Amino acid sequence: MSDLTSTPDRPGLHISAPSPSAPATALAVCHCGARATATGDTQVKALVDGYTANHGPAHTKGGKK
């Protein structure tokens, strides 16, 4: 039982680094329905960049005209 377990029911970015020797993993779940996973620092960074640029806070920033 772990409170840190990512759940798709909670929109947002979930990043975990199990140990210094294991690759970081990330799960991005957006309230728009998009979701993605990444493994490894490079992919995790790309996922975070893409998520923040296109999902999550980006949906409310600017909004619809």
Binding interface with Zn ion (CB under 5 A):
30, 32, 34, 55
> Which residue's CB is nearer to Zn ion, number 34 or number 36?
34
- Cβ atoms of 40 and 48 within 8 Å: the answer is no
User: What number of helices (H) and strands (E) belong to the chain?
Assistant: 2, 3
> Which residue's CB is nearer to Zn ion, number 44 or number 55?
55
- Residue 16's nearest CA partner among 40, 46, 52, 34 is 40
> Which residue's CB is nearer to Zn ion, number 22 or number 32?
32
Shortest distance, position 30 Cβ to Zn ion, whole Å: 3
